Amino acid sequence: MKTARITFILVIAMLLFGTLGLAVAQDQPTETYGMVVFLRGSEFFNWAYAGMLDAAARLGPNVQVQLLGPAEWDASLEAREIEQLIARGVDGIIATAGDAQTMNSAIDRAIESQIPVVLFDSDAPESQRLAFVGTNNYNAGCEAGKAVAEWRGDEAVVGISTFPGPDHLAQRVQGFQDCLTAAAPGARVAQIVNDEGKVDRAEAAITAMLQANPDINVVFAAHGNPGPGAAAAVRNLGLQGQVDIMGFDFGLPVLELIQKGEIRATVGQNPYLMGYMSLMLAYGARHETEVTAGTGFGPYPGLVDTGVQILGPDDIAPFLNPPSFE
């Protein structure tokens, strides 16, 4: 009887505390942050959203996140999503700019509506966004240059596949050249070819480059597309084992070629950290403290470099199954 009474009291106590706890949790208002991307569903942005989800879990159960944006590369649809998030009065917006000019005004309207906006991967530097979280392309090229210097030392003779125009590619190539020759003064870049940004053109261009420069022993693909083209070129000329390929990004064809031994390594960006850091910065901006308010010390640095890692055959397994979100 006594035991039953104690059990009854415990159950009542638990119910009481449970209800109180629920009330306390309900007192904390839910905060909603939206991530707006182009090519929604792509592996790169799924990695970024996985980072955002992990950051939300760290911040607490009252922080809710959503993945939004068009499945195609259409910045105007992204801008429309941002407008809708402004209308809903969300607490923060994380976005990647499919096209900076198209998105500037929507981003600025969000800021004017007191909604923190943090951009990741692709910046819109002329907008009023609070911060940009992404890869410093000069540093990314630099890491590739250092790795090639380790592979071949002063004997490295490199051919680069890129295309004229985009600043970020020029920065990667510059970083590559600077760090390669700093680490291995005898190393040199023999030729830079125009692959027009296409896999099929890369094959023809790199094949011709390798014939014109028989001493090239490394090909650096400065963006995601020429890696498979470089592998095909090396295959065409029967130079497997004599020419190393450094790819960029970890698209599945590049990873498969690393598994086959046709590409030696690739420069992997860190989309997970982009998503994670972006939410942390937007949350920090939403929760100004007495110290940061009005001082300009806000916990959101203007630029955050999420770094890169050089991924070889032993490193790629975790990337073969990217996260998927509907």
Partner 1 sequence: MTQSSEAHPPAIGVLPSSSRLSKLLRGRTTALALLSLALALVLSILSPQFLTSTNLTTIATGMIYDLLIASGMTLVLILGGIDLSVGSILGLTGVITTMALQDGVSIPIAVLIGLSVSVLCGAINGFAVAYLKIAPFVVTLGMMSIARGIATVLTSGYFVSGLPEAYLSIGQGTFLGIPNPVYIVIIILLSFHFLLKNWKPLNQAYYVGNNPKAARLSGIRVSRMLFVGFVISGLMSGIAAIFMTSRLAMGFFQFGLGSELTAIAASVIGGASLNGGSGNILGTFFGVLLLATINNGFILLQGSPNWQNVVSGGILVAALVVDAYRRRKEERE
Residues that bind partner 1 (CB under 8 A): 39-44, 71-73, 162-164, 191-194, 196-201, 203-205, 207-209, 211-212, 225, 228-229, 232, 236-237, 251-253, 256
How many angstroms from the chain centroid is the CA of residue 210?
A: 31
Nearer to partner 1 (CB atom), residue 51 or residue 229: 229
Task: Decide whether 142 or 254 has the Cβ nearer to partner 1.
Answer: 254
CB nearer partner 1, residue 43 or residue 143: 43
* Of residues 62 and 236, the one with the C-beta less far from partner 1: 236
Task: Pick the closer one to partner 1 by CB: 220 or 283.
Answer: 220
Pairing relationship of beta strands 188-194 and 31-36 according to DSSP bridges: unpaired
- Least distance from partner 1 to the Cβ atom of residue 206, Å: 9
Nearer Cβ to partner 1 (15/71): 71
Taking the complex as a whole, the smallest distance from the CB of residue 276 to partner 1 amounts, in Å, to: 21
Q: How far is the CB of 178 from partner 1 (least distance, A)?
A: 19
Give the CA angle between residues 321, 62, 91 to the nearest 5°. Answer: 90
> Least CB distance from residue 45 to partner 1, whole Å?
8
CB of 35 to partner 1, least distance (A): 15
Cβ proximity to partner 1: between 40 and 168 the closer is 40
